[in-house]
Amino acid sequence: MAAHIEVSAGAGPELVVLEGDRVTLGKHPDNDVVVGGDPTVSRVHAVLDRYPGGWSVTDLGSRNGTWVNGERIVQSHLLDHGDQLLVGRTRIVYRNAELVGWSATDAAERPPDLTRREYDVLIALCRPLARDDVFSEPSPVRAIAEELVVTEAAVKHHLVRLYDKFGIHQGDERRRVSLANEAVRRGAITLASLREDPGRT
């Protein structure tokens, strides 16, 4: 069966096949998936987008947030078969049999292998995204260097490697923003990891 979601609201789970490239969820009747019986769901709550490696979910500034496997998402999040979403109080399970035993051809949508220091730089870069301010920018190089107690040159060296691993091209004028978005979207970091004590190593 094609990728689909199971929406558990009211009498029982409803199976919705994911078609096209974008599927909106919310309580407004114009949504592709209408969750009308849950007062904690926003009018246009979240959106599912199709990518070559599957589907992602993005919260659209909803009042109560969108959660994946118990963690509130702050950017687009690529979904795996069996992931459990919480939209308001409504439980949604994502199913995609093609992702069971995924092959190397899906690797472009999965997080790359990172060294411990690259992971630390990525966490420091993305930490502002865990704040409530929707428009938070990723940390500048100086702030990353101060958090990790390293030189700015060392941070820039690791960022160059991260740009390469995540496919962020040299011509991108907002490479730090693109890198942060890709890291969250591809699941390289989580909201919980961003909220950890920055003094930890």
pLDDT per residue, tens digit, the chain (201 aa), is: 578 999 987 666 788 999 889 999 999 999 999 988 889 999 999 999 988 778 999 999 999 999 999 989 888 888 988 899 999 899 999 988 776 554 444 545 667 778 889 989 999 998 887 665 545 688 999 999 999 999 999 999 999 999 998 888 877 668 888 898 888 777 787 766 676 545 444
Provide long-range contacts, Cβ within 8 A and 24+ apart, for 68-77.
Answer: 71/190, 71/191, 71/192, 72/191, 73/184, 73/191, 74/129, 74/130, 74/184, 74/191, 74/194, 75/129, 75/180, 75/181, 75/184, 75/185, 76/49, 76/181, 76/184, 76/185, 77/184, 77/185, 77/187
What's the half-sphere exposure (Cβ side, CA atoms, 13 Å) at 45?
27
Distance, in Å, from the CA atom of 180 to the CA atom of 129, rounded to the nearest integer, reads 9
Largest CA distance in the chain: 58
Answer whether 190's CB lies under 8 Å from 71's CB.
yes
